[in-house]
Amino acid sequence: MKLLFVQRVKAYAGSERYFTSIVPELIRRGIHCKLLFVVDPRDMAKLTEMRELIERLRIPCDYVLSKRKISLKLLRTLNRIAKSDNYDLIHVHLIQAEFWFSIIKRFMNKSLKLVSTIHGFDEKFQSAHGFDPSKVKNSLYVRILKFNQPQVHAYIAVSKSLKSLMENSHILPLGKIRVIYYGTSVPFDPPASQIEIKNMVLVPGRLVPYKGQDLLIEAAKIVLESVKDAKFILAGDFQGEFGHKLSRLVEASKLSENIIFPGHVSNLGELYQKSTIVVLPSRSEGFGLVLMEAFNAEKAVIAFDVPAFNEVIENGKSGILCPPFDVSFLASQIISLLGDDKKRTAIAREGRKKLLTDFSLDRMVSETIEFYQAATGGEAT
């Protein structure tokens, strides 16, 4: 089987890490895979880490440079690449790639067979409404998804919450979506020499509204009244104005020594190991690979009780779930967990155990191959 994976890439984040996780294993199992990334030339410098990793993993990859989100030239280039190697499936990721190839299939190359993975939803909608299907309106984002749907043979959703949102809002029909959770190969082990820093709270994730770092800052102000030496590390790319607003808010509150913005961190594993706990204050998540990373690092996690974290975390056992957006409750749980070594260790161990039993790379790859077999009506190798 020959697969072409397509996505517009801006940074090395969740869906991009999905590629560097699953594709080498698909190749090892005898499936021919190639990546096709469309990149704004201005973003190429931010992708050095990803490009070097793809090269080390020996994953075939083409980069198409385009400042425009869509153009006839871009569509012709993508179609030419898609036709070059007689691919059995074009596996598109995120709405832009899905839109490009829906147009290509409809007007330029009807022989293509498309499948798509749903990693998330419109970020503005997620920030305002989470995954509430009753709030879905006929926005441009929704109209594009509905335009794409007849051209896409089948979908993968990375959580039950995303599948429910798509079906209950009537964006996609019943029976066309299969849920396949992310899996991990457990990519890093705790360095023997790494020393945990007391009262260090790691908050990993891009600085965008739906990730909820503004809520975390409000909770941090409360925590610092009781735990004056607490350090909050908000590790993630500044994307748009939101991150700068957060930084100015912290400076105005004179908390810059306690709430720190290191920007993009190439070796996030070291920060996980140094941290005392991990807090994920998202308003919603398609899945949240950062949760898997925290489990892998054997760190206790606190999050809001929102999709899809509440599909993975068993409250009080493998993590702490707080009432959505209750910053006072969030602060109380941070204070409690920082001060309770025994509880923190028990939760961290349960999280790691859940990762190893339920979220393995082998499970994700096997389920994905089954999905490909169903889509092609034959063998995947």
Q: How confident is the model at residue 76 (pLDDT cuts 50, 70, 90)?
A: very high
Predicted pLDDT of residue 380: 46
Predicted pLDDT of residue 283: 96
For residues 112 and 87, what is the distance between their CA atoms, to the nearest angstrom? 8
pLDDT digits (tens, 9 = 90+) for 153-175: 999 999 999 999 999 999 999 99
C-alpha Rg value of the chain to the nearest Å: 21
More confident of the two residues 108 and 46:
108
Average pLDDT of the residues in 221-234: 97
Predicted pLDDT of residue 268: 85
In this model, does residue 179 exceed pLDDT 70? yes
Instruction: Report the alpha-carbon angle 287-346-309, nearest 5.
Output: 15
**What DSSP element (H or E) covers 62?**
strand 61-65
Secondary structure of 128-175 in HEC code, one letter for each residue: HHCCCHHHCCCCHHHHHHHHHHHHEEEEEECCHHHHHHHHHCCCCCCC
The answer to whether the bond into 308 is cis (omega within 30° of 0) is yes
> Class of the 200-358 domain?
alpha beta
Whether the CA torsion 268, 250, 243, 212 is positive or negative: it is positive
For residues 359 and 182, what is the distance between their CA atoms, to the nearest angstrom? 7
Listed residue (294, 287, 308) closest to 350, CA to CA: 294
Average pLDDT of the residues in 41-56: 93
In this model, does residue 190 exceed pLDDT 70? no
In this model, does residue 187 exceed pLDDT 70? no
Listed residue (349, 364, 297, 274) closest to 318, CA to CA: 349
Tokens matching residue 375: 């889509």
Average pLDDT of the residues in 73-83: 97
Superfamily of domain 2-185+360-376 in CATH is: Glycogen Phosphorylase B; (3.40.50.2000)
Residue 66 Cα distances to 47, 63, 69, 74, 128, angstroms: 15, 10, 7, 7, 31
Residues contacting residue 334 through CB under 8 Å, at least 6 positions apart: 201, 219, 223, 230, 277, 279, 302
Look up tokens 């984002």; give the residue.
Answer: 141
In this model, does residue 381 exceed pLDDT 50? no
Q: How confident is the model at residue 194 (pLDDT cuts 50, 70, 90)?
A: low
What is the average pLDDT score of the chain? 94
pLDDT digits (tens, 9 = 90+) for 2-27: 999 999 999 888 889 899 999 999 99
Residue 257 Cα distances to 145, 232, 243, 253, angstroms: 44, 9, 17, 11
Please state the domain extents for the chain: 2-185+360-376, 200-358
Q: What is the pTM of this model?
A: 0.91
200-358 matches 2-185+360-376 in CATH topology:
yes
Average pLDDT of the residues in 85-106: 97
Q: What percent of the chain has pLDDT over 90?
A: 88
For residues 104 and 259, what is the distance between their CA atoms, to the nearest angstrom? 47
Listed residue (283, 324, 282, 332) closest to 305, CA to CA: 324
pLDDT digits (tens, 9 = 90+) for 261-311: 998 887 788 899 999 999 999 999 999 889 999 999 999 999 999 999 999
For residues 55 and 2, what is the distance between their CA atoms, to the nearest angstrom? 20
Predicted pLDDT of residue 196: 79
**What DSSP element (H or E) covers 65?**
strand 61-65
In this model, does residue 192 exceed pLDDT 70? no
